[in-house]
Amino acid sequence: MGLLDAPTYNPAKERRRRVKILVILAVAIALAFVIYLNRYWPEEHVVDKFFNALEKKDYKAAYSIWMHDPGWEQHPAKYTRYPYDEFYKDWGPGGEWGIIQTHKIDGSVSPKDGSGVVVVAQVNERSERARIWVEKSDKSLSFSPY
């Protein structure tokens, strides 16, 4: 084979190659978009579990999610800043939201220079939204400063 004996041009092979590249590129872009849309899914999932526990009226489980400590009852003195009694006053039947029957996670946002995520939820189909702060490092909850 000499220098001037080049293989013949095959347009079908070139088209298949171009289609493969475009499909891979489209899948990569779609995957990046899905990952971007779900970047706060872990924090939203924690808040969803919290409200599910409140809907079941399992306030001790909800408090364990709030503090991110399933064994909080073994050492309640560790949580003197927000003890269970205050939590029950805030989230129990006599709290601001009343008996929680329904909830829907509306979305979340991470403020600049923040160590957590604000998750916004609609509670009992009220127009006012609950704003819960979820700390990224340990997934503990608190009231949103924003």
What does the CA dihedral 57, 59, 143, 85 come to, rounded to 10 degrees? 130
Tokens matching residue 102 = 């329904």
Taking residues 100-106, report their average pLDDT.
Answer: 94
Residue 92 lies inside a defined structural domain of this protein: yes
What is this structure's pTM? 0.81
Tokens matching residue 55 = 């809907």
Residue 101 lies inside a defined structural domain of this protein: yes
Residue appearing with tokens 């805030």: 90
Report how many domains make up the chain.
Answer: 1
Report the range of poorest mean pLDDT among 7-11, 79-83, 140-144: 7-11
CATH of the domain at 129: 3.10.450
Q: Range of 83's domain?
A: 41-143
Residue 79 lies inside a defined structural domain of this protein: yes
Find the radius of gyration of the CA atoms of the chain: 25
